[in-house]
Every structure is written in C-alpha cells, then in structure tokens.
C-alpha cells in the first residue's frame, strides 16, 4: 500500500505510485470509458481491444486479435483506418477524427472515431456511438427549419437581434413593411429601423432592455415609431421574446404596423367626441328640411290659389260679357257691343297666356321643350319686345333707355324663346317700377363657364335694370323657383310666379346664365348671358 494520503491522485503524481497501481488505475479508467477501443501496430495488426455496451459490431473482438485490420475489421472501417494510419505516419502528434455509419440488427447507427499514436508507436482508435446525438441534431435542424419557414411566412414583421442590438434575421414581411432587403440590415443596429430620436421613452426602455441581463420577458406589446427605407415614419407595436444560443442570448421582435388601426381609433375618437355636435347638426338639418318643405307646400298652395284666381278672372269676364252681349244685342249701341267684344278678346288672350305658361312649364319639366337654334340678333329681339310693350310703357310713363348702335349683337339661340325671356323680365319689372321712371338695357360681353361644362366660352347678353323697390335679400335666390314669389307679389301684386322660373329654364337649356341682384343705387338688375356659339356644347 502506498503511504500517500488518500486525497492524492495517481494522475497528479504518477511517479509517487508503483507501476502496478498506475496500471490498475489505467485499467479502471479504460473499463469505465463507454467507448470501444482498438489497438494495433503501425503495420495494421490488431493487438488489443476494449468492448463497449453502447457500440456493437457484428465481429467479435476476440476474432480480431492478431489479424490484419483488413481481415479483422468490418469493411466500412478498413478504409477509414488505412486513411488514419497514412495521416498519422506523417503527423504523429495529431489526432485523426471521422464520423461513420454502420448497420447493426437491421438499424443504421452513427459513430465517431478518433485515432492517436501512443508513445511506444502503437495506434489506438476509440469508437463512440453518436446515434442519439445525431437524432437530436436532426430534430434540432428540423425544428430550426420549421421555425425559419414560419418566421419567413408570418404576416407580421419578425426581427431577431443579439444582445448588442445587431440585426441577425429579417423576414419577408419585414422586408415589405420597411422596404429593406435582409442583406442590407444584417449586422446593423436595430435603431436603424427604430430611430431613438422618435422614441425617447421607448428608446430608454429598449436601451435598458438590451443592457439588463436579468430582464423579464412578458410578451406584452409596446407602441413606438418605426422608420421605413423611404424615411417615412409610422406607428407600430413591438412584442419581444428571448431564446438562448451557443453564441449568446437572442431577442425576437414581432413588429406590427398599426397605421390603419391608429387612423380608425382617431376617427372613432373624433366621432365619439363630436357625436353630440353631429346629432345637433342633423337635428338642425331636419328642422331646416322641414321648414323648407312646409314653405314649399305653402308656396305651392299659394300658387294654386293665385293661378286659380288668374284663370277664373278672364273666364268670368268672357262668360259675363258674352251673356251681357247676348241680352243687350237688340238694345245696346254698336259701340257698346264692340266694347263687350274687346273685353272678351283681352280676357281670352290673358287666359291663353296663362295656359301657355303652364304648358311651357310642363314641357320644361319633362324635357320636351323644342328649340330652333339659329344665328340671330339679340338687339332685334329686345327692340321687338319693347314694341310689343309700348302701350303699357306709355300708360305708366316708363321710358326704356336702350343702346342704339349699328353693331349686330349676334349669337346662336332660339329667337322666340329668348324673346319670351326678355318679355318676362320686362313685364316683371313693369309690375314693380313706379310711374315716370326708367328701365335701362345694356349689352354685356364676357367669357363664362356654361352649366355642366368646364371650359370658358365667349358670351353675349343683357343687363336690364329697373328703378323700382328692388328685391328683398331673402327673395333673391327664390324668385326663379317654381311656386315661389317675391314678398311684393304676396303683398298685393298679382302674378303666378311662373314667368321668371320658365325664363331661367329656357336660359339654362341654352347653356346660359340668368340671375338677379340689387343695384347699389336702388332697383333690381337682371343679367342674361348666352354663348355666342353652340359649338362644343
């Protein structure tokens, strides 16, 4: 027995122990080693072995002893062993290592072998079964491949960074979101796509997160601002995960673009905060619509009452004077009979005018009004209307001031319909102007954009100004509407309110403009503007 302390070890002080003890210790080590050992000479003769319960060969070790390796070893080891001997003959201090596959009990297994040269020139090969390790490696590779496939095809952006914040992985969704290719960002700082200047609080959080080795991963998302390759900033949500690798800890960031969600949230917030205003506005709109409908209904009723009165008056006159003429035919003087016929004629013409207005209105509303567009003189049209109204003008002592020039005011229009418009405007003015006043008519020329078109055209038209009371401000936009009359009409001036409405429809059909306004010095001004040519309309 050795006198050394029990705490001392042979391999710390081998010279302090006897050869038998050292050999016994070596034998114990060899037996406890799970590897399969073979010892052979440099010429390839197998001289010793150590079996293993983990690695089984089809040839018994005892059968190998004394044989050349080409006879004693399985074929799959012969070529490896010869390669190792050749290698170690040149590099005696090196280790030759290789993996191989063998078949045992119908199952393919994996092993690795190491060859070393001993001090006495012998060569030892140690064989270790690595089948389980290979299975785990294959499972890991499969798992890694499955992860990469899922990560690459995920709908959200996935970015993997190391502990230093350098990008190690950048999936396809991230490429689409940020506009970079993965190769452009590998090895670059994550702050390249999450700039700290736009995320002061988040930057501090992210910086602390990377520096803190004892961080807690809770998987909760945090909102921050990210940056695309184009320089555009957008809101996103970041969720972080963690996993360990041989090269250190890796952090997985799942980034979701929440621009659309933020817009929707802003709209909902805006809507929620202004819901009361919206309800109030809609209520007000309903009240206005109700008032407009009631006003329209009232105006329509008033119109029907007026038109009824206008129709009854000439009809009663015709019937009354026809009956009176029949009674007085034998006793009345010829002058008196002639007076009766004149009243009947005037009433019939008045009735005919009313009916023609109603028919014109029906045609305009149904789109069946027919026009004959010809090159005509607007000045001649005005002169003809003035001639027709001369009797009324003289009766009211109203003078029409009209430009008399040799120039022709030519445009392409339906002569009779534009004449009707001018007649309606002048007749309307005569209802309101005081006696012994004037009506001014001027030619105007300017470019304008016709209705339902986008381009300017050259126009010619008239401005008709009277010196009456003007139009109430609230009626300026209403006098051209059907069933609606100015307050002067409702105050006592008789009329159906159709003349101006029909006039505007006729001018609109000509792609022209007709509008009214009050003159700053008093009175109303009606402006009619027509295109000089219809080409392109």
Q: Which residues make Cβ contacts (< 8 Å) with residue 397, sequence separation at least 6?
A: 435, 436
| Regions in the chain scoring below 70 on pLDDT | 1-9, 11-12, 58, 197-220, 299, 302-307, 309-310, 313, 354, 361, 482-497
Quote the DSSP letter at residue 322.
H
pTM of the model: 0.42
Assess contact for 423 and 499: CB atoms under 8 A.
Answer: no
Q: How large is the angle between the packed helices 334-366 and 499-509, nearest 10 degrees?
A: 50
pLDDT at 413: 94
Per-residue confidence (pLDDT) for residue 28, from 0 to 100: 78
CA distance 500 to 420: 10
Classified as helix, coil or strand, 453 is coil
CA dihedral (334, 336, 340, 346) positive or negative: positive
- At 212 the pLDDT is 62
Strand, helix or coil for residue 140? helix
Task: Please give the Cα distance from 454 to 456 (Å, whole number).
Answer: 7
**Backbone phi and psi for residue 335, each to the nearest 5 degrees, phi listed first:** -60, -40
Per the CB < 8 A criterion, the answer to whether 503 and 424 are in contact is yes
Asked if 27 contacts 37 with a C-beta cutoff of 8 angstroms, the reply is no
Cα–Cα nearest to 42, from 124, 122, 96: 122
Task: Write down the pLDDT at residue 327.
Answer: 81
∠ Cα 237 242 248 (to 5°): 135
CA-angle at 489, arms to 343 and 344, nearest 5°: 10
Identify the bridge partners of residue 107 per DSSP, sorted by sequence position.
104
How distant, in Å, are the alpha carbons of 50, 83, 87, 91, 487 from that of 117?
Answer: 17, 14, 11, 9, 125
Query: Mind spelling out the 3-state secondary structure of 387-434?
Result: HHCHHHHHHHCCEEEECCCCCCCEEEECHHHHHHHHHHHHHHHHHHCC
CA distances from 266 to 181, 190, 256, 270, 332 (A): 32, 29, 18, 6, 90
Q: Which residues contact 48 (CB under 8 A, 6 or more apart)?
A: 37, 38, 39, 65
Give the integer Cα–Cα distance in Å for 484 and 204: 71
The total of other beta-carbon atoms located within 10 Å of residue 349's CB is: 11
Interatomic CA distance for residues 121 and 89, integer angstroms: 10
Find, among 280, 279, 233, the residue nearest to 258 by Cα: 233
Domains and CATH numbers, the chain: 19-136 (3.30.450.20), 144-261 (3.30.450.20), 262-348 (1.10.287.130), 370-531 (3.30.565.10)
Q: What is the pLDDT of residue 491?
A: 45
Instruction: Decide: helix, strand or coil at residue 128.
Output: strand
């Amino acid at each position: 027995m050795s006198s050394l302390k029990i705490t001392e070890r042979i391999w710390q002080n081998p010279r302090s122990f006897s050869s038998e003890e050292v050999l016994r210790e070596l034998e114990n080590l060899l037996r406890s080693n799970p590897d399969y050992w073979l010892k052979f000479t440099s010429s390839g003769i197998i001289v010793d072995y150590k079996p293993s319960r983990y690695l089984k060969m089809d040839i018994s070790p005892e059968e190998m002893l004394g044989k050349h390796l080409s006879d004693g070893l399985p074929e799959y080891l012969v070529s490896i062993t010869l390669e190792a001997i050749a290698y170690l003959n040149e590099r005696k201090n090196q280790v030759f290592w290789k993996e191989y596959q063998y078949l045992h009990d119908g199952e393919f297994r994996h092993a690795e072998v190491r060859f070393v040269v001993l001090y006495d020139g012998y060569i030892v090969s140690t064989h270790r079964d690595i089948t389980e390790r290979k299975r785990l490696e294959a499972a890991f590779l499969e798992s890694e491949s499955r992860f990469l496939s899922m990560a690459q095809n995920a709908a959200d952006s996935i970015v993997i960074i190391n502990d230093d914040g350098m990008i190690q992985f950048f999936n396809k969704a991230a490429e689409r979101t940020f506009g970079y290719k993965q190769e452009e960002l590998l090895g670059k700082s994550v702050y390249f796509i999450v700039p700290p200047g736009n995320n002061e609080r988040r930057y501090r959080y992210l910086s602390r997160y990377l520096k803190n080795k004892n961080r807690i991963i809770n998987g909760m998302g945090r909102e921050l601002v990210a940056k695309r390759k184009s320089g555009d900033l957008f809101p996103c949500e970041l969720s972080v995960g963690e996993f360990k690798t041989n090269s250190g800890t890796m952090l997985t960031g799942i980034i979701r673009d929440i621009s659309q969600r933020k817009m929707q949230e802003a709209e909902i917030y805006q809507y929620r905060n202004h819901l009361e205003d919206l309800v109030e506005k809609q209520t007000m709109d309903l009240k206005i619509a109700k008032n407009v409908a009631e006003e329209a209904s009232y105006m329509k009723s008033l119109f029907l009452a007026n038109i009824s009165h206008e129709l009854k008056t000439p009809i009663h006159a015709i019937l009354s004077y026809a009956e009176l003429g029949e009674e007085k035919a034998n006793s009345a003087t010829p002058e008196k009979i002639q007076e009766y016929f004149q009243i009947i004629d005037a009433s019939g013409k008045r009735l005919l005018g009313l009916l023609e207005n109603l028919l014109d209105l029906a045609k305009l509303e149904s789109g069946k009004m027919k026009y004959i567009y010809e090159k005509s003189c607007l000045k001649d049209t005005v002169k003809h209307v003035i001639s027709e109204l001369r009797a009324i003008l003289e009766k009211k002592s109203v003078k029409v001031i009209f430009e008399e020039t040799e120039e022709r005011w030519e445009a392409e229009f339906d002569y009779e319909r534009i004449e009707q418009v001018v007649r309606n405007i002048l007749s309307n003015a005569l209802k309101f102007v005081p006696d012994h006043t004037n009506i001014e008519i001027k030619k105007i020329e300017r470019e304008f954009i016709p209705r339902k078109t986008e381009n300017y055209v050259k126009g010619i038209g008239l401005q008709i100004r009277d010196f009456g009371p003007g139009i109430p401000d609230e009626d300026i936009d209403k006098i051209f509407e059907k069933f609606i009359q100015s307050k002067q009409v409702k105050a006592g001036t008789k009329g159906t309110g159709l003349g101006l409405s029909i006039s505007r429809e006729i001018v609109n059909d000509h792609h022209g403009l007709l509008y009214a306004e009050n003159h700053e010095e008093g009175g109303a001004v009606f402006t009619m503007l027509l295109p000089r040519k219809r080409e392109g309309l």
